[in-house]
Amino acid sequence: MLCCRKNALGTAAYCNIFLNFILILICCYIIFYWVRGMFEQRSYCGELTLNDVGTLVRLAGWVDTKRDLGGIIFIEMRDVTGIIQVVFDASKNSSAYEKADKVKSEYCIFITGEVAKRSEDTVNPNLKTGMIEIIGQDISILSESEVPPFPIDTYTNLNEEVRLKYRYLDLRRADMQQAIIVRHNVMQAIRRYLADNRFIEVETPILNKSTPEGARDFLVPSRINRGMFYALPQSPQLFKQILMISGFDRYFQIAKCFRDEDLRNDRQPEFTQVDLEMSFVNPRMVMDIIEGLLKEIVLQVLGKEIATPFPVLTYDEVMQRYGKDAPDTRFGLELTDVSDIFTGSSFNVFKSALENSGIIKAIVVNDEGKISRAMIDEYINYVRAFKAMGLPSVRYTGSGFETGIAKFLSDSEKQKLVDRLQLNSNSLIIFSCDKPKIVNDAL
């Protein structure tokens, strides 16, 4: 009897477990099909236009702002494409209005409604969707939100540590999302262009042995080989050379690289680069590929045409005109060699430099008299870091030379400077005289 009772109790328990399991499966089945139908044919907030007026749409996103005017609730709903206004009117749909009344800023919601044209006096010219709104018919709260640590629409006076701590909130900002979308579009344009030009995208290993590069390696300890380390790649240099001698004559990769070096504006420990390699080419072919790539990126991402081929400067020319091999040509301020003008100069600073195989260069700053003597002294102190002894200067007023070294210049030298430097307005001429490298670095 005792055994039978135990078996009976065990059978009943098993039956209850089985029934509960079946019930759970049925609930999951119902939820699955409800959710699947819920998100099918979903529209995006920023993509709706006047052409969609009268259309029933489904939207999913976050509450950007909410305004309750007593009987009418306006919710500005945000997703990755933009913002659109949703209206809930208690007199037309009390059930939806009551649900909308419960939402708060940054709640994640799903709404169903009809696209309607706004009246002329309610058009918002600051929104891409400012000509239309959604007449809400139903709303579901997918996820509630606590009060955010900072308003999503705040762009100033916000601590960067706070932004990074709550990065998932920071990335809800329109400008942050736009930056990531632009980056995505750039990468897609790169891939399309290079693939169309016979390049093959190859992913190279991240964990590898250390190779001699320009910076220190990031090291990863090996669990299997105790006391040994992997090195994260500073560049895929060796791998792409292997590909070249393997017969893949055009390779590219949008590669992650790692360099353990101090932070600077153009140096980060982890960065992404467009890495490519070509075989059986000459310099002009390489330049054509890069120019075409940049032209395609600007066209596809910004919709603008840029002229090609780009201006080409030789190394000697760029060092002569700008004093560095990577100049920013937008600012002008080209260096002009005036050594020949002062070959017979009585000014000891210029004379000594030329006698010691040095050169004299000048830059013209069209400042209309704004640069003071104190500012020039600051420039002089700054260039001492480049081993320059000083920066002789003179001001051209439009009719003659004044201040600085004007008294040391002969009339002939002054006229030659006017002609060589094309002086025609109130300008400051700054000279440097020393060995070529020092002069170029200083100016």
| Domains, in order of start, for the chain | 50-143 (2.40.50.140), 163-191+281-311 (no CATH), 198-278 (3.30.930.10), 316-442 (3.30.1360.30)
Q: Name the phi and psi angles at 262, rounded to 5.
A: -65, 145
What letter would DSSP give residue 200? E
Residues in CB range of 75: below 8 A, 6 or more apart: 63, 65, 66, 85, 86, 87, 88, 100, 103, 109, 111, 136
Q: Name the phi and psi angles at 272, rounded to 5.
A: -115, 135
Per-residue model confidence (pLDDT) at position 55? 95
Per-residue model confidence (pLDDT) at position 329? 86
User: Of 94, 103, 100, 195, which is closest to residue 145 (Cα–Cα)?
Assistant: 103
Contact assessment for residue 362 and residue 342, using Cβ atoms and an 8 Å cutoff: no
Strands (E), 259-380: 270-278, 336-337, 359-365
DSSP bridge partners of 26: none
User: Of 402, 26, 96, 95, which is closest to residue 87 (Cα–Cα)?
Assistant: 96
CA dihedral 344, 348, 349, 355 (to 10 degrees): 60
Q: Report the distance separating Cα 42 and Cα 131, nearest Å.
A: 21
Q: Is the dihedral of CA 164, 168, 172, 175 positive or negative?
A: positive
Written as one letter, the residue type at 49 is T
Q: Report the distance separating Cα 380 and Cα 365, nearest Å.
A: 15
pTM: 0.79
Q: Which helix (H) or strand (E) holds 70?
A: none
Q: What share of the chain is helix, strand, coil (3-state, %, to 5)?
A: 40, 25, 35
Angle separating helix axes 283-302 and 174-196, nearest 10 degrees: 140
DSSP states along 133-162: EEEEEEEEEEE--PPPSS-TT--SS--HHH
Q: Report the distance separating Cα 439 and Cα 196, nearest Å.
A: 46
What letter would DSSP give residue 101? T
Max Cα–Cα distance, the chain, nearest Å: 131
Residues 98-156 have pLDDT tens digits of 999 999 999 999 999 999 999 999 999 999 999 999 999 999 999 999 999 998 887 77
Per-residue model confidence (pLDDT) at position 36? 56
Show pLDDT as tens, one digit a residue, over the chain (443 residues).
Answer: 444 444 555 566 667 776 777 777 776 666 555 555 677 889 999 999 999 999 999 999 999 999 999 899 999 999 999 999 999 999 999 999 999 999 999 999 999 999 999 999 999 999 999 999 999 999 999 999 999 999 888 777 788 899 999 999 999 999 999 999 999 999 999 999 999 999 999 999 999 988 877 788 999 999 999 999 999 999 999 999 999 999 999 999 999 999 998 888 778 899 999 999 999 999 999 999 999 999 999 999 999 999 999 999 999 899 888 888 888 888 878 899 999 999 988 888 998 999 899 999 999 998 888 888 899 889 899 999 889 888 999 999 888 898 888 889 999 999 999 999 998 888 999 999 999 999 999 88
Pairing type for strands 132-143 and 82-89 reads: parallel
Per-residue model confidence (pLDDT) at position 23? 77
